[in-house]
Amino acid sequence: MSVSDMFAVLQGALGQDQDIREEIRKVVQALEQTAREMLTLLQGVHQGPGFQHIPKKCQKAREHFSTVRTQMESLKTKFPADQYYRFHEHWRFVLQRLVFLAAFVVYLESETLVTREAVAEILGIEADRERGFHLDIEDYLSGVLTLASELARLAVNSVTAGDYSRPLRISTFINELDSGFRLLNLKNDSLRKRYDGLKYDVKKIEEVVYDLSIRGLNKEATVGAGGEK
Under 8 Å between Cβ of 164 and 220? yes
Under 8 Å between Cβ of 99 and 140? yes
Compute the distance between CA of residue 36 and CA of residue 3 in angstroms, rounded to an integer: 49
150 is in an annotated binding site: yes
What is residue 126's DSSP assignment?
Answer: B
Contacts of 110 (CB under 8 A, 6+ apart): none
Query: In a 10 Å sphere around its CB, with 0-12 CB exposed, 13-18 middle and 19+ buried, how is residue 23 labelled?
Result: middle
Q: What is the dihedral of CA 17, 22, 23, 25, to 10 degrees?
A: 130
The annotation places the binding site for Mg(2+) at 150
The annotation places the binding site at 150
